[in-house]
Amino acid sequence: MSSSVEAITVLSSDGDEFKITVSAAKLSKPLNWMLEDVCFSDDCDEVPTIEVNSKTLVKVIEYCEKHAPRANSGASDSDAEELKKWDIEFMKMDVKDILFHILMAANYLHMEGLYDLACQTAADLMKGMTVSQIRKIFHIKNDFSSEEQEQLRRQHPGCSFD
Amino acid sequence: MDMPHDIVIEIFSWLPAKSVHKFKSVNKFCNTISSAEDTYFNEKQSQNALLRDDSCFFLQPNWIQRYRAKHEFHHLSSKNTTSGVSHGFFQFLEHYPACRIIASSKGLILGRSNIELFICNPVTQSWLPIPTPSYLEKYPDADLKVVLDCNVEDSNDFMLFLFEVQDEWASQYIDLRFYSVKECMWKSVEASFFHGGRPLRFDMHVYYRKALHFISNCYTFISKKSPYFRPYIMAYNVEDGSSRMIRIPKEARRGSHDLTCQMGIYKWGKPTSSYDSICLVRLRKNVFTIWVLANYEIDKWRRILKIRVKAIGVKEKDPIIVTGFIVMNGDKLIFATEEKIYGYGLRQENFMKLEEICKHEFGRGEMSFIAFSDTLRPCGHTVVTLPLMQQN
C-alpha cells in the first residue's frame, strides 16, 4: 500500500468497521502508529482493532474529523470560535451512557484536547450532584467504616455521606 | 463501569474547590484527593481554575483601607448558594483587627490589617504573612496601590506588585516593587512606571499581553493644554518595564469631566477564547456605555452598548442610583443599586438579559466588588493556618 492512502479502516471492539481519514488519525498517537503500520506493511489485509466500542468510536472519529483541519494547519480566530461552539454542542451527551466511555477512549488514545474537554464536561455535570449520586454514576461503594465517617464528620462539620 | 483512579483525579481537578471537598465523603480514595500533600492535584486544580469563571464576589464600602470594613459575600448564580469559603474565614474577617480585603485573584486574596499584609486562601484556610513593605511603614495611613494576579505559569507563585506612589500630581513616574514568594521579600523593580499626569485607579487592573493596565481618574483639575487633559489608560509591561498610554474612545473622553462620570476597565472575553481583550465601562448621568478594545496596536475601540439605567429593566423606584459596578468573567456587567445587585449580560445569548442576583445592605454608599472563585491554590510553599483558627 502506498503512502497516498487517504483513509484507513479500523475495527471497534464490537467488531464493526470504521473509516478514519489519515489527517484525522494524526490527532492520536496510537492511531497514528497504527496508520504507519498499515501504510508501510506488506500485509494490507489486516485491519487494526481499537479497544473502544462502536458507539464511542463513532463520536471519537467525529471529533477527530472536525478538529483535524485546524490541528494540521492552524486556523483563523473565527474558526477557533466556531470550533468552540461545536465542542460545546458535541459534548451534550449522557454522562453514564457515553461521556465516560469517551473519557476512557480519549485517555487510551492519548487525545489531549478531547480528554480535557471531556473531563471538564464531566466535572460541570457533577458539580451539582450529591455524594450518593456520585457513587451511583461512578459505581463506587462507600468504604468508610462508621467510626471513620464519624471522624470525618468531626473534621469537616457539615459533611454529608448521602 | 470502574473508572481508573487517574481519570477520577483528572475530572476532580476541573471541579471548584467546594465540590472537591463535598465529594471527600464519597469513598476513601476520594478522601485522599486534595490533601495538602497532594501537590499535583492542588496545582492542577488551581491551573484549571484559571480557565473557569469566578463564581462569587465580596462587597465592601469604598472607604480608605486603613479602616475596618464590613464585608458581604454573594454568589453570581442564585442556584448555587454554597461555597468552599469556610465559616472560620468570615469570622476571621470580622474579628481580626481592621481587616480588609484589598485584592483577589483566582482563589487567593490579599488582606490588610493596619500595616500587616497577608495572602490567604479562604477555602483551604491557609495564609501567608507578607512582610510589611518599608513604604507602608513610612506611610501607615496610605491606601496601598497593589496588584495581585494569579495568571502565572507556576501555581505556587503569584504576581504581587506594590506601586509606591509618593505624590501623583508632582511626579509622572512611580517606583514599584514586586514580592518574591521564593525569597519572601519585596524587591525593587528597575524600570519605574510612567503614569502620565493623572492619578491612576490601582484598585482595578487588567492583565493583558504581559502588561498591567490601569485607567486614570476623571477629575477636572488638569489644564486644557496638557496631553493628560482627558482620562486615559496606562499600561506597564511586566517583562520589559516599558510604559504605554492607550487612548480611550473619543466618545468616552467627551463629557468625562462631568462629576457623575465614572469609568472602569475590565477583562473582556474568556481566557481560552481568541477574542480576549479589554472593555471600558462608563457610567455618566445614569447611562452605561461599554466599549471593547478591538485593535490593541492602534487603540481602536468598538462600542457594544449604550443604555440608560432606567431602560435596563430594573423594577425599582425612580431615581435608580447605581452605587457600584464591575464586569465579571469577561461577559457580564454586575451593578448595585440602593437595594439590590443585578447582572446584565454583555455577550451572545445573554446579551442585554437582566437578572436579579441578591439584596445588599450598604444602601446608598458607594461600594466596590471583589470577584472571587473557590480554588485550592496554595499561598506559596509554606502552609500556615489562619491565625484565629489556631486559637480554637
Query: How many distinct structural domains can be found in chain A?
Result: 1
Residue A100 lies in a domain: yes
Query: Is residue A160, in this structure, part of any structural domain at all?
Result: no
Q: Which three cell numbers stand for residue B175?
A: 517606583
Within a domain: A113: yes
Q: Is pLDDT at A1 greater than 50 in this prediction?
A: no
Q: pTM for the complete prediction?
A: 0.86
Give the best residue of B25, B32, B270 to mutate against chain A (max A CB count within 10 A). B25
Give, in order, the Cα–Cα distances in Å from B209 to each of A43, B243, B385: 53, 13, 35
Out of A7-11, B62-66, B72-76, B388-392, the most confident range is: B72-76
> Tell me: the pLDDT tens digits for B246-271?
999 999 998 888 888 999 999 999 87
B28 part of a folded domain: no
Distance separating the N- and C-terminal Cα atoms of chain A: 58
Q: Is residue B14 part of a domain?
A: no
Q: Is residue B26 part of a domain?
A: no
Q: Which helix (H) or strand (E) element contains residue A107? A: helix A100-108
Q: Note whether A24 and A109 are within 8 A (CB).
A: no
Beta bridge partners of B27: none
Number of domains present in the structure of chain B: 1
Query: Which residue has cell 435608580?
Result: B320
Q: Provide the residue range defining the domain that includes B72.
A: 36-391
Predicted local distance difference test score (pLDDT) of residue A75: 57
Secondary structure of residue B32 in the 3-state scheme: helix
DSSP characters for B108-146?
A: EEEEEETTEEEEEETTTTEEEEEPPPHHHHH-TTSPPEE
Chain A residues touching residue B23 (CB < 8 angstroms): 126, 131, 134
Check if the beta carbon of residue A39 is closer than 8 Å to that of residue A53: no
The runs of H, that is alpha helices, within chain B are: 5-12, 17-22, 28-32, 39-49, 87-95, 134-138, 250-253, 387-391
Q: How far is CA A13 from CA A17, A26, A35, A54, B130, in A?
A: 10, 20, 18, 7, 57
A7–chain B nearest CA distance, Å? 31
Look up the CATH number of the domain holding residue A24.
3.30.710.10
Query: Does B41 reach chain A within 8 Å, measured CB to CB?
Result: no
Render A37-98 in DSSP notation, one character per residue.
HHHH-S-TTPPPB-SS-HHHHHHHHHHHHHHHHHHHH---HHHHHHHHHHHHHHT-S-IIII
β partners of residue B188: B177
User: Is B18 part of a structural domain of the chain?
Assistant: no
Q: Please state the rounded mean pLDDT for residues A125-153.
A: 87
B24-40 pLDDT, tens digit per residue, is 889 888 888 877 777 88
Q: What value, to the nearest 5°, has the Cα angle with vertex B256 and ends B250 and B258?
A: 150
For the domain that residue B381 is a member of, what is the CATH number?
Answer: 2.120.10.30
ipTM of the complex as predicted: 0.88
CA–CA separation, A94 vs B348, rounded Å? 26
| Domain that includes residue A38, residue range | 7-128
Cβ <8 Å between B11 and A103: yes
What mean pLDDT comes out for the span A126-150?
A: 88
Nearest CA in chain B to A150: B25
Pairwise CA distance, residues A136 & B365, whole Å: 49
In a domain, B12, yes or no: no
